Amino acid sequence: MKTLSDTVRGAIPEKALASEYLQSIAEKFTTNDKIEASMLLDKLTSMKFSMNQNMREHLMEMMNIQGQLANLDMRVDEGFFIQLAFKSPPDQHFESLKTTYNTQKDK
């Protein structure tokens, strides 16, 4: 059976009714959207592609984080996202792709 540790139990005020006590627990552990968005943004901007992984999977992971940020009302601009995606792989392996993209005229 799972129980609350003494530290957690001490941080939650005593209540007369079980429903009030459960509400207090829920309030204590509610996620903070600002903190979550900050953590996701840090993860997105610091992601680096490793040659040990698949580029498609790496981009899908980046897009997943972009979607999570959008759900938190923090939209990542498409142009900014593309620049992050181009910044994540090592230059020596994807330089021609980056050059081709950067020399294209906007449509």
pLDDT (tens digit per residue) in 55-107: 899 999 999 999 999 999 999 999 899 888 888 877 677 777 778 877 887 65
59 alpha-carbon distance from chain centroid: 13
Tokens matching residue 101: 């993209």
Q: What is the per-residue pLDDT for 1?
A: 47
CA distance 28 to 52: 40
Mean pLDDT, rounded, of the chain: 83
Count CB-CB contacts under 10 A for residue 34. 10
Domain boundaries, given as residue ranges, for the chain: 1-30, 33-103
pLDDT tens digits for range 16-67: 888 988 888 787 776 678 889 999 999 999 998 888 888 899 999 999 999 9
This prediction has a pTM of 0.64
Percent of the chain with pLDDT over 90: 33
Assign 4 a pLDDT band (cuts: 50, 70, 90): low
Percentages helix, strand, coil for the chain (3-state, rounded to 5) are: 65, 0, 35
Q: What is the per-residue pLDDT for 66?
A: 96
Q: What is the per-residue pLDDT for 39?
A: 93
